[in-house]
Structure 1
Amino acid sequence: MLRTRLDLDRIRAARQVIDPVFLDSPLYPCEALGQRLGCAVSVKVETANPVRSFKGRGTELVVSRLGRAAVVCASAGNLGQALAWSGRRRGLEVTVVASRGAPAVKLERIRALGAELELVDGDIEVARERASEIARGRGVRLVEDSLDVETCEGAATIGLELVGGDFDVVLIALGGGAMATGVGYVLKSLSPGVEVVCVQPAGAPALTRSWHERRVVTTESIDTIADGVAGRFPIAEVLEDLLVVADDAVLVRESSIVEGMRLLLEHTGLVVEPSAALGVAAVLEDPERFAGRHVVTVICGGNVDLEAFERWTTPRR
């Protein structure tokens, strides 16, 4: 039995708590994308839901255990939307702290879903500090993505939907680690022959470096368009889980992320945020590793500013 903070029975039970709108997301092979990448490719699409990301699976689980308590979180955008959606459904007051530089589309959706939004100058780590201050000052629950095991076990329900599939590798975007540890835990428990590969931008490498060095490694700055996975301070408990369930963690270049977004648009019709293209980027950078294998990549989010998306993906002339 794998020794992590996660539990299979709790993960199975989570499916009874999470709103069905987030469950059983599409999983299908994409022959055209596979031909371009030189391997069989299936996509697990976590954007076909009200918050356009996988985060709703975790926030549904968190909020279901809170009663009527108010909550606050720091977010790059997707967690805040998901917590606002889940909280509104249950009549909770939700406060989200985000960077002023976060994509406008994410900030607008947080407000539209009824949450109080506070913006800070700086990155997600600054937002986390402010969220902690609010939690202490107001005496409300602080929701900490990836540290709160519910966020990991909610994401782990993706893994339950992958178990039994005819594939060799699952590529998972790596940010705070909730999805990687959750999906990885389920696959290593129930489909141990499947390789779990985590993918992170080279411009935000902290958790990948930590995995390779087997200790928490922090960075002073972030330089990536993949805002959803851009953290500087890995969480020790999350790293301990990741060391148990991940087979590898790799870094990819910004140019590969952009090309991955373009290929997903061209071959699947999906408009995705940069974090969702990390799996495709990993195959682009190391095609020999995946040649002849069946790869599943989790399309984790689709909240992207359309002007930025067009700028990134339109070929320069």
Structure 2
Amino acid sequence: MQATRLDTARIRAARRVIDPIFLDTPLYCCEALEPHLGCAVSVKLETANPVRSFKARGTELVTSLLTGVDGRAAAVVCASAGNLGQALAWSGRRRGLDVTVVASRSVPAAKLDRIRALDARLELVDGDFDTARERAAAIARYDGVRLVEDSLDLETCEGAATIGLELVAAVPSFDAVLIALGGGALATGVGHVLKSLAPDVEVICVQPLGAPAMTYSWRRRRVVTTGPTDTIADGVAGRRPIPAVLDDLLLVADDAVLVREASIIAGMRMFLDHAGLVVEPSAALGLAAILEDRDRFAGRHVVTVVCGGNVDPDAYRRWIGVS
């Protein structure tokens, strides 16, 4: 493999730092999905933890480095579409850190309420995630605190990469993995491990048509920024890819595909009807990709990473048509 920021030895070591409650999440073949999709689908369930997303694998690494040898707690700030903020608040509270989360006012209320419940200071801004990212960076500069930037901070990628170790250890083997693509921590982390230890597995990244910046960047092999996003998958709705993260992604992704909103909703409904799972839109991107290209996956064994389950209940019922 060419030069990359990620290191497999560090990723293995990360498992000793991350709270075990976030490790070894369920992985199982969901037989009920196969008749409807034409392929075997195994589910890596990253919602089965206290923050209901994979993000705490990374924040556990970040926060483990932030308490000094004198025992004094540090202050940290991050921008979040909801899940990173919850994860940083949980990991920070566990270690006595002062956590500030900056989020857009458009973030689902359920996510914001959970951040507050985890004792983080929450600042809301008008605009989207990238606006929140700018504000978090300003707070870090003015207050002299640590800025935790998802995907750019290597710990967020290598924490997510521990999912890849668990996939590689799975029996039986699988043909492809479908990964939600937003900032890139999950895709680069899991992709790095798979290409290092199971290179025959196809790594396919999935993004909404309404938030295509990283996919466009991957396809053109250079950073492409986009205008305002338009997708219910708020967890992956960024406009400005990080160059270093794109460099890592170019080394490990075999493909990056875009899916329609209707397919995302159909995927959410399939998870509910056939797996009994309530998932956020970003977590349904893998099923959406299968639904839009059934021939590609026919007869194969595919893993989809269910990356989050934090969703506004009212919006969820409206999307999937249940009362």
Question: What's the TM-score bracket when you normalise by the shorter of the two chains?
Answer: over 0.9
Extract unaligned runs of 5+ from structure 1: none
1:168 aligns with 2:168: no
Alignment of 1:243-282 (within 5 A): 243-282=250-289
Structure 2 CA distance for aligned equivalents of residues 315 and 210 of structure 1: 37
Residue 209 of structure 1: aligned partner: 216
1:147 aligns with 2:152: yes
Residue 39 of structure 2: aligned partner: 39
1:105 aligns with 2:110: yes
- 3-state SS in 2 of match to 1:296: strand
- 3-state SS in 2 of match to 1:111: helix
Q: Deviations over 1:46-85 (max 9, x none)?
A: 0010000000000000000111210000000000000000
The TM-score with structure 2 as length reference comes to: 0.97
Alignment of 1:62-141 (within 5 A): 62-67=62-67, 68-141=73-146
Displacement of 1:154: 0.1
- Percent of aligned pairs sharing the same letter: 77
Structure 1 CA distance for aligned equivalents of residues 284 and 5 of structure 2: 28
Residue 321 of structure 2: aligned partner: 314
Residue 293 of structure 1: aligned partner: 300
Asked if 2 retains the 8 angstrom alpha-carbon contact of 1:164 and 1:191, the reply is no
Q: Deviations over 1:12-38 (max 9, x none)?
A: 000000000000000000111111100
What is the letter of the counterpart of residue 160 of structure 2? A
What is the letter of the counterpart of residue 74 of structure 1? A
Displacement of 1:315: 7.0
Displacement of 1:3: 2.0
Residue 70 of structure 2: aligned partner: none
The TM-score with structure 1 as length reference comes to: 0.99
Structure 1 CA distance for aligned equivalents of residues 169 and 117 of structure 2: 39
1:54 aligns with 2:61: no
Asked if 2 retains the 8 angstrom alpha-carbon contact of 1:176 and 1:229, the reply is yes
Extract unaligned runs of 5+ from structure 2: 68-72
- 3-state SS in 1 of match to 2:81: coil
- 3-state SS in 2 of match to 1:211: helix
The alignment of Structure 1 onto Structure 2 pairs a total of residues equal to 316
Q: Which runs of 4+ in 1 moved over 4 A?
A: none
Displacement of 1:220: 1.1
Q: Deviations over 1:228-282 (max 9, x none)?
A: 0000000000000000000000000000000000000011100000000000000
